[in-house]
Structure formats: C-alpha cells, structure tokens
Structure 1
Amino acid sequence: MTLKIRLARGGAKKRPHYSIVIADARAPRDGRFVEKIGTFNPLLPRDSAERVKLDLERVQHWLSHGAQPTDRVLRFLDAAGIAKRPARNNPKKAEPGEKAKERATERADKAAAAAAPAPAEPAAEPAAEPAAE
C-alpha cells in the first residue's frame, strides 16, 4: 500500500478549501483517507498564517513510515522546513526553439547587410537637359 501525502478538495464551487491528508495512492482524490494532518485555504493571502496549517509531528511520523508527498504538499513542507524540494534543472526549456533560432539568424543577417557600407560606384553623369526653344 503506497501512501501519499496529498490534497483532498472540499468547499463550494469557486471557493476551494483543501484538506492535507494521508491516503492510499489508489484511493480517489476526495475519497477515503487514513488521516487528516492539515488544511490549505488558497483564498487567503500568501502571508497569512491560516493559509496552510500542518500537524508537523504527524507529518514527520508519516514521512518516516514512507509516505510520499505530492509536488504541492512538498512545497508546503519545504516552506515549513520539514523536507527539501529538489531544485529543478531543465536547461533545454530555457533555450529558444528551432523557428526562433532561424528568425534570429535572419534578423542578424539583415542587420549585418544594412550596416555594411554599399560598394562604392562612380556616380553616373547627369543626363543633359534638352535645350528650350
């Protein structure tokens, strides 16, 4: 039985309120759980102490018994100083895509062509004006 520390949604439509629970990974999101260890109210301001409430002693107990926190709960645990969230390392995500690279090279070529001085050609002699009669 794989245990997860995850969020179970409650509250009314457009007014979410989450319980932080220990549940079997196969159980429904809002269904059967083993123990409720905290709450999360996303409607409160980020700096509010009431936004995330955790029973830290029970969290430590379940982590020692092998419960795996979900990504969102791991954020809460990291903020509380219980668990460390690994740094994300995806350097390819920051690179521009193929089309963006092509556009950049085209733009650079146009800029280089515009900045290069035009080849010096001797000025053409002005055409003679017809004489007025």
Structure 2
Amino acid sequence: MAVKIRLLRMGKIRNPQYRIVVADSRTKRDGRAIEYVGIYQPKEHPSIIQVKSERVQYWLSVGAQPSEAVQRILEKTGDWQQFKGLPAPPPLLMAEPKKSRTEVYEAESKAAAGVADTKPATPKKSAKAEPKAEKAAEPKAEEPKADEPKAAAETAEDPAGAGAAQTEGTTVAGAGAN
C-alpha cells in the first residue's frame, strides 16, 4: 500500500485550516486517514504549525512520502532535516500566549485605580500651571518697564517733548513756525 503524508482541509470558506494526516494515496483528499499527525493554520499570524515529530519520523522511516506542501511544512519544523540528517533550521516564530480574561480584567481595574489615584494629583498640576501663568504674566510686566527707561531717556534729551513728537512722524505746529 502506498502511504502519503498530506493535508486534509478543514475550516470555513476563506479560512482554511488543515490537518496533517497519513493516508493511503488512493483515498480522497478529505477522505479516511490512517493517522492524524499535526495541524496547520495558515491564516493566523504567525502561522500555527504543530507536528507530532515522533510519529512523522516513524512514517517517514517506513516509506511514507510527504506531499510538496507537507514537505515544506516539515522543513520549517525541522523534521525533514532530522530525517535526512541535515542541520536544523532556525526556530519558528511563536505567537505570544493570550492572556486570560481575568488577567485582562485585573489589569484594567488596576489601571482604573491608578487613574483614580492620579485625580487628587490633578489639582497639583493646576497649581503648577498657575506659576506658569505667573511667569507668562511677568514678561508682560517687564515690557512696560523696558519702555519706561526709553521714555525717560527721551525726556532727558528733549525735556519739552517736541523732538519725540517729530520722531514719530507728527509735526508740532509751534516747532515749524520759529
């Protein structure tokens, strides 16, 4: 009997999921299998590949022929290289384990409690904002002080203020008559 290791399609439309099976080469693709030796889910990120390595090694040793797709999968897991005596490939990417709902809930509640703890701190932030407002008000207060010495210097040079008026572009009626 000719035995093949191939993929048996499962899953929904547009969401294929496969089982890696050992089956007689004359059976249908989704027909009866001798043994299930793994799963392959290509739509997940990263793809999920789980293979029973011992069973695959056994079937390869007794002459089972992998299909092209299964051979590529076995090359990624390192089972093909182990069978052929080649160096192992780099390790597969693994998805992060999903947190349980209780862990997620507890983390959310701690974060919410942390937000509640920071609410009393917000008046401190507003108190910090007030000095910034004062600092912003100080330069405005300094600007008139800077103008005052200029005005004092102008009055010291021209006590009547007639020259200051002419520098601004306005003429004094009495200045041009003399």
Match of 2:84 in 1: none
Match of 2:15 in 1: 15
Paired with 1:33 and 1:13, the residues of 2 have a C-alpha distance of: 22
Match of 2:73 in 1: 76
- Return 5+ residue gaps in structure 2 as ranges: 82-178
The percent of aligned pairs where both chains have the same amino acid is 46
Cα offset for 1:82?
Answer: 1.9
Aligned residues: 81
Match of 2:37 in 1: 37
Match of 2:92 in 1: none
Paired with 1:73 and 1:41, the residues of 2 have a C-alpha distance of: 13
Counterpart code for 1:42 = P
Cα RMSD after superposing both structures = 1.1
Larger helix proportion, structure 1 or 2? 2
Match of 2:27 in 1: 27
Segments ≥4 residues shifted beyond 4 Å: none
Paired with 2:23 and 2:45, the residues of 1 have a C-alpha distance of: 28
Cα offset for 1:78?
Answer: 1.1
Which SS does the other structure have where 1:31 is aligned? coil
State the structure with bigger RCO (CA 8 A, min sep 6), 1 or 2: 1
Cα offset for 1:61?
Answer: 0.5
Cα offset for 1:83?
Answer: 1.5
**Higher alpha-carbon Rg:** 2
Task: Say whether 1:58 aligns with 2:71.
Answer: no
- Return 5+ residue gaps in structure 1 as ranges: 85-133
Paired with 2:76 and 2:12, the residues of 1 have a C-alpha distance of: 27
